[in-house]
Amino acid sequence: MLKTMRKNVKSLAPVLWIVIATFVIAIFAVWGGAGRLGEARQANTIVQIGKVSISADDYYNVLRQRIETMKRQYPDLDPALLRQLNLPQQVLEQMIQQQLLLHLAKKQGLKATDRELQEKIMSYPVFQRDGKFVGFEEYKRILDWNHIPLQKFEESLREEILLNKIYQLLTAHLVVTEQEAWENYRDQNETAKIEYLVASVDKIDLPEKPDDPAIAAYFEKHRERYRVPERREGKMVFLKTDDLKKELTVSESEIEKYYRDNINQFKEPARIRVSRIYLTYTEADRQQTLELARNIKARLNAGEDFARLATTYSKDEKASAGGDWGYYDWQSFTQEEIKTINQLEANQVSEPLDLGYAVSILKATEKMPEITRSLAEVKVMIQNSLLEQKARNQASSRMEKLARAAKKLRDLEKAARREGLTTQSTGLLKNGDPVPGVDSSGYLSQTLFELKEKEISSPVFTYEGVAVLQLVKIDPEHQASLDEVKDQVREDLISELKKEKIKEKLASLKFAQAADWEDFASKNGLEYKRADTHKRGQYLSLIDETTELDRLVFSLPLNQPSEPFEVSNGFAVVRVLERKEVSREDFEKVKDQEMPSLLNQAREMFLFSYLQKVRQEMKTRVNVELFNRVTENLLGRFSE
């Protein structure tokens, strides 16, 4: 992920990677926590990490910035896909990890010196001209032009220096051997063109289902396989926010006040789309190039198409795209070009600019000023947001009161009756089990596993509402009785019987004699799949565990069918059509790149585990209710 983020950041226009926070370590996060507000009591605190907090405003701004950056690269990106990618959780997790690393850096006494800061600033390409630093005044002007406060920018650079230092310190002990690098290189670069057939239990019918004696016999034979994990049951009072919304209203004045107080949320920044014709020259052909530029400008004035002329004459990387540099990439141009662009009107073409090594002809193909979306445009969104906030605030207030009373009485049901509320049973739940209609994410069951028997929880926030729980029963892990797992035993027995039937079927088929496996599969009720560039460990449809498949793929003679091997849902047969292998000689040519790359992967894996431990030690708490509300508010804006 570190390499990916670095690549993504550096692929943006230089002026943008000033704006985007660059995390030294950004690992795919396992989103955790039981959803309890706990100690995070401050109204605007979304995460509490020891004595350090992350505000909802900071999270909102970082997430918005990340989404806007992704939208520039992928214009069709929508909130549903962002949720599917778990982008909000990843962004918040990265912010948490950054704070954990800064805490560790300070604990180790690390500092970012003025000299290191100066070198960092001077290393940014956007602050260089012809390989030299542009000077303090120009540096400050670039920041001002991008609306970035100098102090805030330099503070972020100091943090990045500290993050780099602690990253190096924590991972300095890690090493990678040449043999490990070779094996990784081989796994990543050897490929095979394969086809495989799968006989799935889903496609097999049994003449009759197993009866109870057969199920009992199977259970007795495999008794040790069946254990019931620890389960817990609680009493619960749950307030659903959708129900509370029906009792609430939002006034026009509240909507107007929210709009005024959060006006920056509704601003769309000014945008200019730029096209360029770029003609490079040497001293020998300078005059000839200048004459060509004047001729092109005359043809543009006469109405010829800018994109066509750019494709024909331009010498930069966007020539094949008709000279289109989009809305942002042009900000890497020279200051003279940028100044000219800002002075152009929409569709206006500049005079040829002689840059001393090239001639640039610029066009503002689109120019949109900064706009603020009107109250009418965003009224429904604000109304829904305020209604959600009111409902959650009311639920939170009532549940806080209930929790205090219940803890005082040591009885949730008695406290609920006094408050006019009803309790319900959660039923026996495994850790992480959802509660249908109440908590689809498993926060409530996770909370039960944090409580002692008879203990009452603080309010627990879910996507659907707010709950207070009391743990009433613990059912320890134990050897299962047949009654407890009878349905599972029946399914396992049926699956085994179907697999036996599949074995008999596959044993009768002549795979080696079939030239066209796709046609062969169709005639024999099998599923046919093909992979042109399979690598070790790579996911394959219908085959979830590839260890045995990979062993076969990289050892079988070409075009020879394998013996049937078991997969999760049946059996498969594979045939290798082509294989691309690598040698130690190939590895030696790239060893100097492969070993550092593998070392970086090892560092990231180590740091992920280490930060998970530090996170627990510092009692990191996430205000899930606030996280959900801020996230939905922002995603709602991008869905309009």
pLDDT tens-digit series, residues 405-446 = 999 999 999 999 999 999 999 999 999 899 988 888 788 998
Domain-located, residue 314: yes
What pLDDT score was predicted for residue 43?
Answer: 57
Domain-located, residue 241: yes
Please check the confidence at residue 541 and state whether its pLDDT lies above 90.
Answer: no
What pLDDT score was predicted for residue 551?
Answer: 93
As a whole number of angstroms, the longest Cα–Cα distance in the chain is 98
Query: Can you tell me which residue has the tokens 């070009």?
Result: 337
Please check the confidence at residue 111 and state whether its pLDDT lies above 70.
Answer: yes
Instruction: Mark whether 624 and 497 lie in a shared domain.
Output: no
Query: Can you tell me which residue has the tokens 């949320």?
Result: 265
Confidence of residue 626 (pLDDT cuts 50, 70, 90): confident
Instruction: Mark whether 107 and 130 lie in a shared domain.
Output: yes
- Please count the other Cβ atoms lying within 10 Å of the Cβ belonging to residue 638: 14
Indicate which CATH number applies to the domain containing 105. Answer: 1.10.4030
CA distance 451 to 410: 13
Instruction: Mark whether 328 and 454 lie in a shared domain.
Output: no
Instruction: Mark whether 392 and 494 lie in a shared domain.
Output: no
Domain-located, residue 162: yes
Between the ranges 102-111, 258-267, 434-443, where is the mean pLDDT highest? 102-111
Q: Both tokens of residue 365? A: 């193909």
Mean pLDDT across 561-576 = 92
Instruction: Mark whether 449 and 491 lie in a shared domain.
Output: no
Return all residues near 420 (Cβ < 8 A) that are at least 6 apart.
none
- Domain residues for the domain of 316 are 270-369
Domain boundary among 476, 492, 517: 476
Indicate which CATH number applies to the domain containing 575. Answer: 3.10.50
Domain-located, residue 591: no
List beta partners, residue 227.
479
582-617 pLDDT tens trace: 999 999 999 999 999 899 889 988 998 898 889 888
Mean pLDDT across the chain: 86
Domain-located, residue 587: no
Instruction: Mark whether 235 and 225 lie in a shared domain.
Output: no
CA 303, chain centre distance (Å): 47
Confidence of residue 640 (pLDDT cuts 50, 70, 90): low
Please check the confidence at residue 508 and state whether its pLDDT lies above 80.
Answer: yes
Instruction: Mark whether 305 and 425 lie in a shared domain.
Output: no
Reported as type and span, the H/E element at residue 169 is helix 150-171
3-state secondary structure of 285: helix
Mean pLDDT across 514-527 = 93
Domain boundary among 369, 398, 424: 369
CA distance 583 to 598: 18
Instruction: Mark whether 382 and 311 lie in a shared domain.
Output: no
Please check the confidence at residue 15 and state whether its pLDDT lies above 60.
Answer: no
3-state secondary structure of 441: coil
Domain boundary among 476, 511, 537: 476
192-241 pLDDT tens trace: 999 999 999 888 888 889 999 999 999 999 999 999 999 999 999 999 98
Instruction: Mark whether 6 and 84 lie in a shared domain.
Output: yes
Instruction: Mark whether 141 and 42 lie in a shared domain.
Output: yes
Angle between helical axes of 114-123 and 150-171 (0-180°, round to 10): 100
| Total count of domains within the chain | 4
266-278 pLDDT tens trace: 877 778 899 999 9
Indicate which CATH number applies to the domain containing 281. Answer: 3.10.50.40
Instruction: Mark whether 488 and 552 lie in a shared domain.
Output: yes
Domain-located, residue 386: yes
Angle between helical axes of 2-10 and 584-617 (0-180°, round to 10): 100
Domain-located, residue 454: yes
Please check the confidence at residue 14 and state whether its pLDDT lies above 50.
Answer: no
- Secondary structure (DSSP) of 317-376: TTGGGTTB-TTTGGGGS-HHHHHHHHHPPTT-BPPPEE-SSEEEEEEEEEEE--EE--HH
What pLDDT score was predicted for residue 17?
Answer: 29
pTM of the predicted model, to two decimals? 0.54
- End-to-end, the C-alpha distance of the chain in Å comes to 31
What pLDDT score was predicted for residue 25?
Answer: 27
Q: Both tokens of residue 544? A: 């979830």
Please check the confidence at residue 78 and state whether its pLDDT lies above 70.
Answer: yes
16-75 pLDDT tens trace: 223 333 332 222 222 333 333 333 345 578 999 988 899 888 898 889 888 888 877 777
Domain-located, residue 590: no
Instruction: Mark whether 202 and 284 lie in a shared domain.
Output: no
Query: What one-character DSSP code corresponds to residue 592?
Result: H
- Please count the other Cβ atoms lying within 10 Å of the Cβ belonging to residue 359: 24
| Segment among 151-160, 212-221, 286-295 with least mean pLDDT | 151-160
| Segment among 14-23, 358-367, 528-537 with least mean pLDDT | 14-23
What pLDDT score was predicted for residue 21?
Answer: 33
What pLDDT score was predicted for residue 179?
Answer: 94
Reported as type and span, the H/E element at residue 236 is strand 231-240
- Please count the other Cβ atoms lying within 10 Å of the Cβ belonging to residue 248: 15
